[in-house]
Amino acid sequence: MDEDLTEAAHRPEEHVSGGVPSWLAAALNYCSRCGAALRFGSIDGDHRERLACSACGFVAYVNPRLVVTTLPITEGGEVVLLRRGIEPGYGFWAQPGGFLEIDETVREGAIRETLEETGLLVEPGEIVGLYSRTQAAVVVVAFEARIVGGALRANPEALEFGTFAPEAIPWPEIAFRTSTWALRDWVRRVRPDLHPELLREQPAV
């Protein structure tokens, strides 16, 4: 998963004023149009303070990015997860996914990321959930996805693959809170009798 910044999640929930996470604000020192220093404060016609250039007036709007992910489901009703081969979350389980590119639709991005990280060709179906992580400055969408082709293929981002029945999700070894939430919501759909909402939230990293 191409989620390195996504799960800056493990850092304390720290924001500078204006709601910009400090790790993100650290990369916003200068105007991308003229190179002068950005200053945080009120600007004309806006109800909230912004980072703006004191020289040319350019406003550096900061918005969350979308992470597109899938829960690939086998014919037997098991979910395919990958054991992450990169940080953050090295060695822990997550679903395939990554940042949406500027020239693709949400479904296209989900299909592409899943293919890159697993070798599986999927057909995204219903959205299992949409999850905000303000500190990581991301919104994560998780599709339930039917596997329609391809084959699991090793790659630098995945140490190994596993398929898990709803009752066999390795909860303590799930890499991210958003992955835990997505899996919980999927299990709630397919096996409500398992009461995944009673899980103690315990992200591995």
**Half-sphere exposure in the Cβ direction for 188 (13 Å, CA):** 12
Q: Which is nearer to Zn ion, 56 or 168 (CB)?
A: 56
Question: H helices of 33-191, where?
Answer: 106-118, 177-190
Instruction: Give the total of residues touching Zn ion (CB under 5 A).
Output: 8
Beta carbon nearer to Zn ion, 45 or 156 = 45
CB of 52 closer than 8 Å to CB of 33: no
Paired strand residues for 69: 97, 142
- Least spacing, CB of residue 58 vs Zn ion, in Å: 4
Residue 174 token pair: 């799930």
Task: Give the nearest distance from C-beta 19 to Zn ion in angstroms.
Answer: 22
Name the residue among 53, 29, 32 with its Cα closest to residue 41: 53
Cβ proximity to Zn ion: between 35 and 192 the closer is 35
Instruction: Please say which residue, 53 or 139, places its beta carbon nearer to Zn ion.
Output: 53
Which residue in 26, 56, 59, 148 binds Zn ion (CB under 5 A)?
56
Q: Contacting Zn ion (CB under 5 A), which of 11, 33, 65, 195?
A: 33
Rounded Cα distance, 59 and 40, in Å = 10
For Zn ion, the binding residue among 31, 82, 120, 141 (CB under 5 A) is 31
37 binds Zn ion (CB under 5 A): no
Q: Pick from 52, 20, 49: which is nearest to 34 by CA?
A: 52
Q: Which residues contact Zn ion (rule: CB under 5 A)?
A: 31, 33-34, 36, 53, 55-56, 58
